[in-house]
C-alpha cells in the first residue's frame, strides 16, 4: 500500500514525461493540466493509504 505514495514522486519528478505542449485541455498546455491533475490524484492516493492503515489498526 505504501508504495502508492511513491507514484506522485515518479509522476512529477520525471520531467521529460510531461514537458510537452500537446495534448492541451481547455487552452492549458499539457505541462500545466498534467501537474494540476496530480493534486487530486495525490490526495486520492494518500486517502487510500490512510483508509487502509486505519482498517489495519482497528483489527
Name which position in 3, 23, 26, 56 contacts another protein (CB under 8 A). 26
Q: Is 40 in the site for another protein (CB under 8 A)?
A: yes
Name which position in 3, 21, 56, 59 contacts another protein (CB under 8 A). 21
Task: Determine the Cα–Cα distance for residues 15 and 10; give it in Å rounded to an integer.
Answer: 9
**All cell numbers assigned to 8:** 506522485
Q: Is 23 in the site for another protein (CB under 8 A)?
A: no
40, 8 Cβ separation under 8 angstroms: no
Distance of closest approach, residue 59 Cβ to another protein, in angstroms: 16
7, 48 Cβ separation under 8 angstroms: no
Amino acid at each position: 500500500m505504501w508504495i502508492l505514495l511513491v507514484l506522485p514522486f515518479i509522476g512529477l519528478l520525471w520531467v521529460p514525461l510531461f514537458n510537452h505542449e500537446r495534448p492541451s485541455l481547455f487552452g492549458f498546455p499539457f505541462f500545466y493540466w498534467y501537474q494540476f491533475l496530480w493534486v487530486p490524484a495525490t490526495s486520492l492516493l494518500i486517502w487510500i493509504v490512510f483508509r487502509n492503515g486505519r482498517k489495519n489498526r482497528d483489527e
